[in-house]
């Protein structure tokens, strides 16, 4: 059975120890899972795990691969620092009993550029080799990786489901699959339903971000949820359905508000998701 989740970016740009109460708030609103963005990794993992268990929630982690965190960079120092960051995320996941680390692990945001065919292939191979190494660490930690195609304005490495599938094939590890993010797909995919069904058929969908076209709550924009949700049900997807909304100033957050508080945004999204699934 799916659990509806929410990323704590809905309330704060960077999660820290003083935001532990947001886990309680997500549970009070009615969510069954939370996601923590790993902008920083020096918070109290034991305290998070305690709050998660006390509220009967499940936890996923989302890597924050901002500029300078890039496993496919031509600079070896940047690649090594990124591997170190991802290993620390995995160790954090192990301590907090999170079984999923997702995001644009191949490069992240902050790197969208035109390359020659040779350099593009070199960049691709660096991502593949680096993630193959990280997948082994993840396996030791009992964690599955979710590769997220993101839009052209944030990266030029993996934008579409087709590219993500090719990268999975090249990596060749069983514990790396795909995170499908509706906001990103809305920009890049020619047909949202075809893209989603492609990975569902291949049993490659490990996580689903229920995002609107403008990052509002599901149901507030033009995403065709009435066509997409039945696909999740048809193929018996049992993973999390996680809202990834943002407070102003956080990553893809809008530079305007939606006329509601962040609590109300979460409530609207959860109410709409429940209706869609029922």
Question: Residue 243 burial by CB count (10 A; 0-12/13-18/19+): exposed, middle or buried?
Answer: buried
| 33-38/4-7 β-pairing | parallel
Question: Is the dihedral angle over the CA atoms 138, 38, 96, 31 positive or is it negative?
Answer: negative
CATH number at residue 138: 3.20.20.150
Q: Give, as one character, the DSSP assignment of residue 185.
A: H
Tell which phi-psi region holds residue 211, choosing left (phi > 0), alpha (psi between -120 and 50) or beta.
beta
User: Does the pLDDT of residue 249 top 80, yes or no?
Assistant: no
- Work out the pLDDT band at 110, boundaries 50, 70, 90: confident
pLDDT value, residue 251: 76
Residue 146, domain extent: 4-277
HSE-CB for 185 with a 13 A CA cutoff:
27
- Work out the pLDDT band at 51, boundaries 50, 70, 90: very high
Count of domains in the chain? 1
Query: pLDDT tens-digit profile of 186-227?
Result: 999 999 999 999 999 999 999 999 999 999 999 999 999 999
Mean predicted confidence (pLDDT) in 230-243:
97
pLDDT value, residue 67: 83
User: Does the pLDDT of residue 248 top 90, yes or no?
Assistant: no
Alpha-carbon distance of 246 to 252, in angstroms, equals: 7
Q: Angle 225-234/262-277 helices, nearest 10 degrees? A: 60
| Cβ-based neighbours of 26, under 8 Å, separated by 6 or more | 6, 8, 34, 55, 57, 266
State which H helix or E strand residue 209 sits in: strand 205-209
User: Does the pLDDT of residue 258 top 90, yes or no?
Assistant: no
User: Does the pLDDT of residue 272 top 80, yes or no?
Assistant: yes
Do residues 11 and 37 make contact, with C-beta atoms less than 8 angstroms apart? no
Percent of the chain with pLDDT over 90: 90
């Amino acid at each position: 059975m799916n659990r509806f989740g929410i990323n704590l970016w809905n309330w704060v740009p960077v999660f820290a120890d003083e935001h532990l109460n947001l886990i309680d708030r997500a549970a009070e609103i009615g969510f069954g899972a939370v996601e923590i963005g790993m902008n920083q990794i020096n918070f109290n993992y034991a305290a998070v795990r305690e709050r998660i268990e006390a509220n009967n929630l499940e936890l996923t982690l989302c890597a924050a691969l901002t500029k300078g965190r890039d496993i496919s960079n031509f600079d070896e120092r940047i690649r090594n620092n990124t591997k170190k960051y991802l290993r620390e995320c995995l160790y954090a996941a192990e301590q907090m009993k999170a079984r999923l680390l997702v995001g644009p692990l191949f490069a992240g945001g902050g790197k969208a550029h035109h390359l020659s065919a040779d350099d593009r292939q070199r960049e691709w191979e660096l991502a593949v080799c680096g993630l193959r190494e990280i997948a082994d660490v993840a396996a030791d930690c009992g964690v599955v990786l979710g590769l997220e195609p993101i839009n052209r304005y944030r990266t030029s490495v993996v934008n579409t489901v087709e590219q993500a599938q090719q990268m999975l094939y090249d990596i060749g590890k069983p514990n790396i699959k795909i995170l499908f993010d509706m906001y990103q797909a809305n920009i890049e995919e020619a047909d949202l339903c075809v893209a989603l069904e492609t990975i569902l058929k291949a049993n490659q969908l490990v996580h689903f971000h229920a995002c609107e076209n403008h990052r509002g709550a599901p149901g507030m924009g033009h995403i065709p949820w009435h066509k997409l949700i039945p696909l999740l049900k048809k193929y018996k997807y049992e993973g999390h359905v996680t809202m990834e909304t943002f407070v102003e100033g956080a990553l893809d957050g809008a530079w305007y508000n939606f006329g509601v508080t962040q609590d109300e945004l979460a409530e609207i999204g959860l109410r709409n998701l429940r209706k869609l699934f029922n």
